[in-house]
Amino acid sequence: MDEKPSHSSDSLYVKTFRRIPVVFYLIKWLIITLLIGAGAGTASAWFLFSLEWATDFRESHLFMIALLPLGGLAVGLLYHYFGKRVEKGNNLILEQIHSPKKILQFRMAPMVFGGTVITHLFGGSAGREGTAIQMAASIADQFTGLFKLRPRDRKILLIAGMAAGFGSVFGTPLAGAVFGLEVFFLGRIRYDAILPAFMASVFADHVTRMWNAHHSHYSVSFIPEADFQNVLYAIVAGICFGLAGRAFAKATHKWGGFLKKHIKYPPFRPVVGGVIIAALVYLTGTTKYIGLGLPTISAAFSEPLPAYDFAAKLIFTAITLGAAYKGGEVTPLFFIGATLGNALAYVLPMPVAVLAGIGFVGVFAGAANTPLACTLMAIELFGAEIGIFAGIACVTAYMFSGHAGIYSSQVIGMPKH
């Protein structure tokens, strides 16, 4: 277990003794991650179907948006009376990884599933990774008792669960695996969960695909050479992405704190947020900034968009999530990043698809402090050629986003500079 580096202890006995545990380790985690993959992949698939349905229904029944405050009230009441122990969501999982205490309740999965579908059905601006991660982690954690896992193994299990949820909901298994390893410490990766994270994410992604759930595709056809000038542009863009990620995290925290301070009864907070969102949609006359915003994300790769799109989405999402609607931050961060990249094409001489692509992952890299996962995500979504620009932009965004990201239970493992 705590094998020391040594070139001397080579008796057959030691060799055999050394080899066996890793084989057991592999078989144990192969079985567990296959189960996690089946559960998390299935949950992600059904969740993606439900989101598609909710989005389509809302877009063809726009009056639904006026009912957002009621939807928010329903979810608020549900969590207040039945979900006290699961309402911290992603942060609860991160806390359990750092100091394992109580098994996650299974109800976390159906509650966050239902809560998120309601957010999207009634037109909140939110994402889906939080939901996928919470479903996957709470499903995974049910195996803790079943397999009588020790606290150290439970930590690995939770990391694998997060990886499985993330990888399957976005169709990016490598990014999912590294996200699981990267997210709980800021500035540090530890490899004790590396094999389970990779296996769980790959298996879950495959299960989601077996259900025929499909993921969005984006096309980045031409990537310029990574000469000094273009790399410098990517750095400049990365700074903007990092500051946007920082602004988003701050705005959401601040608005959430403001509501908490002034509205003592939690179920009323989403009501206030819902009223504001519904009013904003009515005033602006567009549904562009609510929901997942997938059509606008796609458009950001090919056509000029208003330069304020990213700011509008940032405001809509901060209002929604700060008011405790369920969902996630990541897809709105993709939207903010892709449209901010699109806007930067007005000033930086780089192809709009490249700027949209590196923005897509860059703002998220800054806000979640996960630059390597985001670099891999760009490669999985847009191809290997964007790798250098994505890597530079994500790492720069990470450097410029400050130490307080979207996950407040993330522990600082290493200051950034």
| CB-CB contact of 48 with 257 (8 Å) | no
Segment near a second copy (CB under 8 A), from 73-81, 194-202, 260-268, 354-362?
194-202
Among 192, 219, 304, 346, binds a second copy (CB under 8 A): 192
Whole-number Å distance between alpha carbons of 57 and 295: 15
Q: Which is nearer to a second copy, 86 or 169 (CB)?
A: 169
Among 98, 107, 214, 416, binds a second copy (CB under 8 A): 416
Q: How far apart are the first and last CA of the chain?
A: 34
- Residue 319 CB coordination number (10 Å): 23
Nearest of 306, 307, 315, 310 to residue 280 by alpha carbon: 315
Residues 348-387, one symbol each (x = binds a second copy by CB under 8 A, - = not), give -----------------------xx--xx--xx--xx--x
In the region spanning residues 219 to 258, those forming contacts with a second copy, defined by CB under 8 A, are 226-228, 231, 235, 239, 250, 253-254, 257
Residue 260 in contact with a second copy, rule: CB under 8 A: no
- The dihedrals phi and psi of 186, each to the nearest 5 degrees, come to -85, 125
In the region spanning residues 19 to 78, those forming contacts with a second copy, defined by CB under 8 A, are 21-22, 25-26, 30, 34
Question: With 0-12 CB in 10 A as exposed, 13-18 as middle and 19+ as buried, what is 114?
Answer: middle
Tokens in use for 59? Answer: 């877009």
- Residue 231 CB coordination number (10 Å): 15
Segment near a second copy (CB under 8 A), from 73-81, 82-90, 125-133, 197-205?
197-205
Whole-number Å distance between alpha carbons of 262 and 389: 44
Segment near a second copy (CB under 8 A), from 1-9, 80-88, 259-267, 344-352?
1-9
Q: Which is nearer to a second copy, 83 or 366 (CB)?
A: 366
Residue 198 in contact with a second copy, rule: CB under 8 A: yes
CB of 346 to a second copy, least distance (A): 23
Among 158, 163, 169, 202, binds a second copy (CB under 8 A): 202
| CB-CB contact of 172 with 361 (8 Å) | no
In the region spanning residues 154 to 173, those forming contacts with a second copy, defined by CB under 8 A, are 173
**What number of chain residues touch a second copy (CB under 8 A)?**
71
CB of 165 to a second copy, least distance (A): 17
Among 42, 96, 131, 396, binds a second copy (CB under 8 A): 396
Q: Which is nearer to a second copy, 34 or 73 (CB)?
A: 34
Q: Write the DSSP assignment of 288-344 as a string of letters.
A: TTSS--HHHHHHHTTS---TTHHHHHHHHHHHHHHTT-SS-SHHHHHHHHHHHHHHH
Question: With 0-12 CB in 10 A as exposed, 13-18 as middle and 19+ as buried, what is 108?
Answer: buried
